[in-house]
Amino acid sequence: MRSRSIWRYSGVVSFLLIAAFVTGCSHVPRQYPGPGWVQTGTASWYGEDFHGKPTASGEVYDMYGYTAAHKTIPLGSKVRVTNLDNGRQIIVPVNDRGPFVGDRIIDMSYGSAQRLDMVEEGLAKVRIEVLEIPHTYTGGRYTLQFGAFAEKNNARKLAIQLESRGYKPSIEEANVRGNTMYRVRLGSFNSIEGAQSLGQALTTAGISCYVVGL
């Protein structure tokens, strides 16, 4: 999201963005990520700064409990997380959204991180396996998030940059773990593939964004 390079390839990619957006919004809803879905990447953990604050699911975060945050797995799903460095495993519910730092794929509660023996290192290479999703889940919706800011003016600056290139982002006020944040987002997709398609086009243009489950 650095203004010097964000729009370097925007003229070239405009057609791709429009096509990806239309395609993404026309996909048939599907249960994805669903049971059997596997993802490998970097895990982190979060603790006392968020203890006692609400999660994305509305539950109060208990740092000593066994839970996790993920960007797209349906809230209420159960996942098995394996620390690939030591073989330790834990099954936890996903009750929060995140992490939104670098290429991390899952944020473990402090209690879960202890079980995986990753507290001291802070990060670990893990495999996530979706075991179960809520019975009431009939298909997800997704969006692209460009940033989350404590100051609304910072969110406005980013939104203005997007608007100057013909896009129509929204600024959403949200309570994130007890703190008011302003999130800059674009689009609403009925499939994760559609969101990823547009996200990839934006990444090619040098614009950082994440696919987020709604």
Residue 1 maps to a domain: no
Same domain, 94 and 175: no
Q: Does position 4 have pLDDT exceeding 60, yes or no?
A: no
Q: Does position 140 have pLDDT exceeding 50, yes or no?
A: yes
Which DSSP symbol is given to 191? S
Residue 3 maps to a domain: no
pLDDT score at 141 = 85
Of 89, 113, 132, which residue sits at a domain end? Answer: 132
Of 94, 110, 132, which residue sits at a domain end? Answer: 132
> What tokens appear for 120 in the block?
């001291």
Residue 96 maps to a domain: yes
CATH of residue 124: 2.40.40.10
**What average pLDDT does range 142-157 have in this prediction?**
90
**What average pLDDT does range 144-155 have in this prediction?**
90
Which DSSP symbol is given to 28? P
Give the DSSP per-residue string, 38-98. Answer: EEEEEEEEE-GGGTTSB-TTSPBP-TTS--EEESSSPTT-EEEEEETTT--EEEEEEEE--
pLDDT score at 32 = 55
pLDDT score at 120 = 95
Residue 4 maps to a domain: no
pLDDT one-digit tens code per residue, 36-48: 999 999 999 999 9
How sure is the predictor about 17, in pLDDT bands with cuts at 50, 70 and 90? Answer: very low
Q: Is the dihedral of CA 137, 143, 149, 151 positive or negative?
A: negative
Average pLDDT, the chain: 82
pLDDT score at 16 = 37
Its domain, for residue 171, covers 10-29+139-213
Phi-psi region of 127 (alpha: psi -120 to 50; beta: other; left: phi over 0): beta
Look at the chain and report how many structural domains it folds into.
Answer: 2
Q: What is the pTM of this model?
A: 0.69
